[in-house]
Chains A and B, each alone.
Chain A
Amino acid sequence: MFKKILIANRAEIAGRVVRACRKLGVHSIAVFSDADAHLPYVGAADESHYLGPSPASESYLNMRRLIDLAQRHGAEGIHPGYGFLAENAAFARMCEESGVKFIGPTSAAIDRLGDKRHAKEVATKAGVPVTPWFPCGPADVDLAARKAAEIGYPVIVKPAAGGGGKGMHRAANEAELRAALPRAGREAKASFGDDALLVEKFLVNPRHIEVQILADSHGTVLHLFERECSLQRRQQKLLEETPSVALTPPQRERICADAVRIAQTAGYVNAGTCEFLLDTQSGVHYFCEVNTRLQVEHPVTEMVTGIDIVEQQLRVASGERLAFKQGDVRQTGAAMEVRINSEDPFADFMPSLGYIEAFSPPEGEGIRVDAGYAAGDSVTPFYDSLMAKLIVHGQTRAEVIAKQVEALKHFMVVGVATTIPTHLAIMHDDGFLKGNFHIHYVESRVKDWLKLDREEDAAILGALMEYRRLLKTREAQSRAGELHFDPWSSSSLPRVR
């Protein structure tokens, strides 16, 4: 096992990796940009170092600097988290060449699978169906228009590198495709440093189902079952759960076996995820891509299988064999994760930035919160909007949903708007409760969900606090001169920082 590793990421996922390190007795090094200097993960790590200015291109994407820091401070490995350099083959290769272990697949595997174009070829070789597609550059609009006409609209434009929904645009006709290509190219370039794109046939109302893979360097490839990630908005996942209500036991067996076969064909090592689109009418699943990294939504799998995926990543990367077999991996109960993003659902999900006045996550049996921020931190415009993940585990899906409602109501964030109201609405949606949804379901329903219907309560509570303040002021005035301890007032409490 490693003695010391560097975590080339930030916020909640950096904190998550720190916890895995602690569990294994591995010394953790956090790195931070100007904007992140005070976030909780920096203090949680055993050691922390300044990386660079706030823009990601000058900090979390600065490959040379990350490797220098790792070498200078004696880190034997680098955990990339997700996003940033997690699926960057050039970075993995730089790590390999500098003798710092990249905690993830080999650069060759990232090249083969991280690039969606090659991944489709691997899947075809493994005998897994893929959706019709073609590669193209952001400027190849005429070529794209001709080929898209062949495979038929609607189509979706995706960056060939990277994931996470960035730079993905749907086009229903040629005009939309022509508009989408340059925009997708710019976003791909900004997020992943590569503007290569691919255009793919867009299935109507499929479900997004993915399979977690764990593979060691001794030839063992296991799956940790599926995650249902169909609830998305603008190709960004909002909520993930396992098991998926859409799969029958034989379908589950087939999709998981296909994922294992793709990983085997690619010679994959470490944790990865095979994403599929399930055509609910035919019951056929089509391979989309492999995410050659830890996923944001990995905790739901951990909750039902009891396997710590980050721990396994560290074990596999240090050369250990997986200590369990496929037959030992079971789904127990159900788990659901909701993403608490700093976005205002009442203003078309605009990023909500600024100072976090209060941050109080729920606690309880079967409730897990992976948070990147705390009260007193600021959400800055430089990175993605994920503040925290709320994960709930229970015996059944119905129990999980009931627990989510209570947990969401007690998740208090003040100062920055969040997606909590969206999730509360989802938990009461009939289609969601029955399990009848697909990847466009959120967009079709979101307008009906979001209602600010507690205006009168808000008015009463606002006025109540104002009234109480007035009474306190009057009381203070009448007692002027007296030394007096007021437990209501935060200023009379000692400040501990």
Chain B
Amino acid sequence: MEYEVIVNGKTLRVRFTERDGQLYVTSPRGTFPVRVDTPLRSKIQRTQINGGPLTFGHHRDKDRTVVVLDGAHYEVQIREQEHVRFTQLAKRPGAQGKFDVKAPMPGMVVSTQVKPGDVVKKNQSLLFLHAMKLENDIRSPRDGLVLEVLVKAGDVLEKGVPMVRLGPVTS
């Protein structure tokens, strides 16, 4: 079985084969024996890759899989190889298109720092969001033109709510 795995924007191919009752994994760095041990507890898994023990966290819900290694959360998208070709045509958000900056957490808008028509640079402050007792500086993930500011001071937002709509900078 072969999978295409996207992690942090990188695409990797991972293949599993069984020989003489032993499972092997092939990834860009080579082919190694792999073993899955009994889970330590729910969502905490123990494995051995090439004889080296590895404990990791694992959680899967309907549209995402999370692997926790050395305390870091890796969000991985996994597709079986035969599915890949059908979804390859699916569009990716183009660097030239519109882009919504979404609330990274629930919170209350303290103030907005930009208005429609502003040209913003990557990492420029867009607005302040009050959450967990701190004012969080929400910065632009890219260069762009502010098309719309969809929130105002005092708005209480759920996570994922679009806050600022950016478009390409027209020269």
Q: Chain A residues with Cβ under 8 A from B44's Cβ? A: 358, 360, 412, 414
Tell me if A457 and B58 are in contact (CB < 8 A): no
B74 touches A466 (CB 8 A): no
Task: Give the chain B neighbours of A143 by CB distance below 8 A.
Answer: none
Is the Cβ of B131 less than 8 Å from the Cβ of A459? Answer: no
Residues of A8-65 contacting chain B, CB below 8 A: none
Question: Assuming the A-B contacts A455-B8, A456-B12, are A384 and B133 also in contact, with contact meaning beta carbons closer than 8 angstroms in the complex?
Answer: yes
Tell me whether B73 and A344 are in contact (CB under 8 A): yes
* A462 to B8 alpha-carbon distance, docked (Å): 13
B58: chain A residues at CB < 8 Å are 414, 461-462, 465
Given A187-B134, A414-B58, A459-B5, decide whether A408 and B71 contact each other with a Cβ distance below 8 A: yes
Does A358 lie within 8 Å of B57, measured CB to CB? yes
Asked if A186 is at the interface (CB within 8 A of a chain B CB), the reply is yes
The 0/1 profile, CB within 8 Å of A marked 1, for residues 140-155 of chain B is 0000000000000000
Binds A, one of B62-70, B88-96, B161-169: B62-70
| B102: A residues at CB distance < 8 A | none
- Is B119 interfacial (CB 8 A cutoff)? no
Whether A346 and B72, one on each chain, are in contact in the complex, defined by CB atoms closer than 8 angstroms, is yes
Residues in chain B near residue A490, CB distance under 8 A: 42
User: Considering the complex, which residues of chain A in the window 400-424 have a beta carbon less than 8 Å from any beta carbon of chain B?
Assistant: 408-415, 417-418, 420-421, 423-424
A353 interface residue (CB < 8 Å to B): yes
Q: How far does the Cβ of A194 sit from chain B's closest Cβ, in whole Å?
A: 15
CA A411 to CA B134, docked complex, whole Å: 26
B59 at the interface (CB under 8 A from A): yes
Q: Which of B41, B132, B135 contacts A381 (CB 8 A)?
A: B132
B43 within 8 A of A: yes
Tell whether, in the assembled complex, residue B71 and residue A420 are in contact, meaning their CB atoms are under 8 Å apart. Answer: yes
Report whether B67 and A462 are in contact in the complex, using a CB–CB cutoff of 8 Å.
Answer: yes
CB neighbors of A among B1-44 (8 A):
1, 3, 5, 7-8, 10, 12, 14, 16, 25, 27-29, 34, 36, 38-44
Cβ of B112 within 8 Å of any chain A Cβ, yes or no, is no
Check: A183 CB closer than 8 A to any chain B CB.
Answer: yes
At the interface, yes or no: B124 with Cβ under 8 Å from chain A? no
Chain B interface residue count, CB cutoff 8 Å, equals 59
Nearest A residue to B78 by beta-carbon distance?
A466
B59 lies within 8 A of A381 (CB): no
Q: Say whether B76 contacts A470, CB under 8 Å.
A: no
Q: Using Cβ atoms and an 8 Å threshold, which residues of chain A touch B59?
A: 357-358, 414-415
**Partner pick for B133 among A183, A191, A424, A461, CB 8 A cutoff:** A191
Tell me the bound Cα distance from A470 to B60 in angstroms: 14
Query: Which of A166, A191, A347, A383 contacts B104 (CB under 8 A)?
Result: A347
> With an 8 A cutoff between CB atoms, is B114 at the interface?
no
Whether the pair A459, B134 counts as a contact (CB closer than 8 A) is no
**Interface residues of A, count at CB 8 A:** 59
Is B54 close to A, CB under 8 A? yes
Min CB distance B102 to A, Å, is 12
Contact B72–A462 (Cβ < 8 Å): no
Given contacts A381-B106, A414-B44, A461-B54, contact A166 B134 (CB under 8 A): yes
Q: Known interface pairs A187-B134, A381-B105. Does A454 touch B71 (Cβ–Cβ under 8 Å)?
A: no
Q: Does A385 interact with chain B (Cβ within 8 Å)?
A: yes
Which one, B42, B49, B133, contacts A383 given CB within 8 A?
B133
Chain A residues whose CB sits within 8 angstroms of the CB of B41 once the complex forms: 358, 360
Contact (Cβ within 8 A) B74 A458: yes
- Name the interface residues of A461-484: CB closer than 8 Å to any CB of B: 461-470
Cross-chain contact A459 with B34 (CB below 8 angstroms): no
Chain B's closest residue to A191 (CB) is B133
Q: Which residues from A are CB-within-8-Å of B131?
A: 351, 381
- Assuming the contacts A191-B133, A360-B40, asked whether A467 and B1 have C-beta atoms less than 8 A apart, the reply is yes
Contact assessment for B66 and A415 in the assembled complex, using a CB-CB cutoff below 8 Å = yes
Contacts of B7 in A (CB 8 A): 455, 458-459, 462
CB of A398 within 8 Å of the partner chain: no
A415-468 contacts to B (CB < 8 Å)? 415, 417-418, 420-421, 423-424, 452, 454-468
CB nearest neighbor in A for B128: A183
- A350 contact from B28, B36, B76, B104, Cβ within 8 A: B104
| Neighbour of B132 across the interface among A351, A417, A459, A466, CB < 8 A | A351
A190 at the interface (CB under 8 A from B): yes
A203 contacts chain B at the CB level, 8 A cutoff = no
Per-residue 0/1 for A188-209: is the Cβ within 8 Å of any B Cβ (1 yes, 0 no)?
0011000000000000000000
Q: Name the distance in Å between A494's Cβ and chain B's nearest Cβ.
A: 13
Given A411-B71, A467-B1: A353 touches B66 (CB 8 Å cut-off): no
A375 at the B interface (CB under 8 A): yes
Contacts A460-B14, A462-B65, A467-B16 known; A350 to B136 CB distance under 8 Å? yes
B49 → chain A closest CB, angstroms: 7
Report the nearest B residue to A462, measured CB to CB.
B76
**Contact residues in A for B128 (Cβ distance below 8 Å):** 183
Q: When the two chains form their complex, are residues B57 and A414 in contact, meaning their CB atoms are under 8 A apart?
A: yes
Q: Could you say which of B3, B5, B29, B67 has the most chain A C-beta atoms within 10 Å of its C-beta?
A: B67
Q: List 15 A-B contacts (CB under 8 A).
A: A166-B133, A186-B135, A187-B133, A187-B134, A187-B135, A191-B133, A350-B105, A358-B41, A358-B44, A409-B70, A409-B71, A458-B7, A458-B74, A460-B27, A461-B69
Residues of B within 8 A of A (CB): 1, 3, 5, 7-8, 10, 12, 14, 16, 25, 27-29, 34, 36, 38-45, 47, 49, 54-60, 65-74, 76, 78, 104-107, 110, 128, 130-136, 139, 159
Interface of A toward B, CB cutoff 8 Å: 166, 183, 186-187, 190-191, 344-348, 350-353, 357-358, 360, 375, 381-385, 408-415, 417-418, 420-421, 423-424, 452, 454-470, 487-488, 490
Apart from A353-B159, A414-B59, A420-B71: 5 A-B pairs, beta carbons within 8 A: A412-B40, A412-B68, A457-B49, A461-B56, A462-B5
